[in-house]
Chain A
Amino acid sequence: MAIEKIDYEKCTSCGNCFTICPMDVFRNMGGCYYIAYREDCMTCQLCVLYCKGHAITVGAERAVPIVLPY
């Protein structure tokens, strides 16, 4: 669902996810970046596209249910 995980075997701590995320989903603790607000992920894939270590998985499913027109 939405952002799923950061693979710390691949993470280079580049911080691009933290810097780029339009929804402010990530936090940084001593150079370790983690998913702090998964519920706000809008599956825009920017963190995936800019992750230097190809460490982030973002699923296609929305993080929270959205009311649809019908």
Chain B
Amino acid sequence: MKPDEVVKSEVLVIGGGIAGAAAAIAARKAGADVVLVDKAVVARSGQSTFAAGIYAVCFPERDNLDDWVDEMIDLGEYLNDQAWVDLLWERNHPIAMELDRWGAEYHWPILERNEKGDYVRRKSRGHIKTFHCIMNSIPMMDTLKKKALDLGVRIVERMMVTEFIRSKGRVGGALGFNPQSGKPYVFQARAVIAAASGAGFKSAFMGHKNLTGDILAAACRIGVTVQNMENVCSNTCARHMDIHGLNLFVNVGGKLTNGQGEEFMWSYHPDLGNRGRMQDLTLSFCQEVEMGRGPVFMDLTSASKADQALCRKILPETFATFAAAGIDPFSQKIEWIPAFMGTLNSGGGIRINLACETNLPGLFAAGDITPEPPHGTYSFGGVNIAFCHVSGVVAGERAAAFAKKEGDAWDTRETRDDIDSGWERTVAPLKTKSGVDALEVIHHIQSKIIPKDYGYLRTQTTLQEGISSIRSIRKEEIPRLHAKDPHELMRCLETRNLAEVGELILSAALHRKESRGWHFRKDYPYTDNKNWLKWVTLTRQGNEISIVDISVPTPHKAPSAEITVPPGVRRQ
């Protein structure tokens, strides 16, 4: 097969979650002709569909913005892009209200209201003076998809984008194929928005196993710079099944207990306890297990009947899974573990500026494929969706303006090399007559990324060994991946992309010699603001990875001490 189907647009958006859908709508509203593609189905794949019900909204008439900015920077451990913090809260409220209005027009209520008609606001993970609204994810995504279609966005689903195409010094399109039919496509565009989330390594947790860093890896292959890759994110989840809902669970009184029955989180985070940030929780779980005080349990037995009903309404997929397992989480404790999520959520990703521009002209990035710059390491619950929404709108507006101003970049002679070599890389697993199974290789990759020695409580020794193993997988196993059909081809390419992203994660982790966010170094167990108030950026240059540190500007607020205690340290 050869890529002969050509789809032209002014703006190509890759990824159909909230960031991509919001980007497509914003670009369309700005007058651009827009194509939106998704590896699966817009509004039914990626994290937005499974975004367990919380959306941070700062209401100008009732919230003190200074408190929100302050709290965000403190909790984000000063790795926040503080200019992005301002932009996030400037754009957040109007677009959240607009989205809620669209939902009401389509009869899909998005944000929960109480009997008086006021928005329900709660405090969950990390919130001190801040709040989040409670959101119905599937109606939210249905609303965005319908609005995009109503505005004339062209949607192409079941489209795995595999490589970018460059022309005249710009990113001018992409290659892809349909994993059901195998049909290959070339997308030509004046501007491209990468909004396809990051790499979750097919690990535990609900709903992210098709997020394998495909667009992140493709961007890195053409020299796009990534940032914060050492800060791999984790949520938490039941050990034996993939569910979501931590924010709501701790909000309704869920307690985390260790093997000795102790509510141990108060010893790690005396102010927030069970409502600690995700990095507090997951590193503490690992420490408790390392100290012989595991396993950890989630105890929801004190949730009120009303809160039980709220959980069932907001988390239908989780409760369907509980039902399938024959478990009632409100009457028994459940073993609970860190759910590794790699670059998802506030993990690392494509470095962007305030216009969502990457270092390559014509390529913009939005949502979870970026390091979520205002979040820092991870600030408080509900920021992920808020940022994905705002950055999607910003990227859409900016990409539309770029497309109008810069015009067509496509040059058939110039693009031929990228198309030919990109297609050769794409179909390589179909050409091997036999080889290794992708599922087996994924397991090998997971075993060098997810275990606590590589993903949580790291040392120079474990990281060096991990990098060496991942490089060996890239060299020995990836070229031998074998696909029998287009679906298997998708799985093989996902595997290759995970290995490439994994190498970047471990390289950044080896480089950063301090502990901050999820990045805990047992050999450097403190936060070093004197030497490491820096973003670690990585850029692939052929087979090499170039690492550059960038000092974090602190226009609002700088850390109060040179050395501070990182998450995951037992204080009492």
Contact = CB atoms under 8 A, between A and B. Distances in A.
Chain A complexes with chain B: yes
A67 B451 contact: yes
A32 interface: no
Interface string A19-54: 111111001000000001101101111101100000
Contact of A24 (B179, B207, B285, B324): B179
A23 B158 CA distance: 10
A61 to B, nearest CB: 7
Interface in A49-67: 49, 57-62, 64-67
B447 interface: yes
A46 B138 CA distance: 10
Interface residues of B, number: 51
B303 interface: no
A60 B241 CA distance: 6
Contacts of A27: 180
A59 B324 contact: yes
B342 to A, nearest CB: 12
B44 A67 contact: no
B447 A67 contact: yes
Contact of B242 (A19, A20, A36, A42): A42
A23 B128 CA distance: 38
Given A66-B203, A70-B452, A24 B158 contact: yes
B289 A42 contact: no
Contact of A60 (B44, B158, B322, B447): B322
A23 B210 contact: yes
A49 B317 contact: yes
B28 interface: no
Given A60-B325, A61-B241, A69 B210 contact: no
Interface in B170-205: 179-180, 202-204
A58 B242 CA distance: 12
A62 B439 CA distance: 13
A68 B320 contact: no
Contacts of A42: 206-210, 242
Interface of B: 40-41, 44-46, 49-50, 158, 179-180, 202-204, 206-210, 234, 239-242, 282, 285-286, 289, 294, 316-317, 320-322, 324-325, 327, 337-338, 340, 439, 443, 446-447, 450-452, 455-456, 487, 490-491
25 contacts: A22-B49, A22-B210, A23-B209, A24-B158, A24-B180, A24-B487, A42-B206, A43-B241, A44-B50, A45-B320, A46-B44, A46-B49, A57-B324, A58-B320, A60-B324, A60-B327, A61-B241, A64-B439, A66-B202, A66-B204, A67-B450, A68-B450, A69-B451, A70-B286, A70-B337
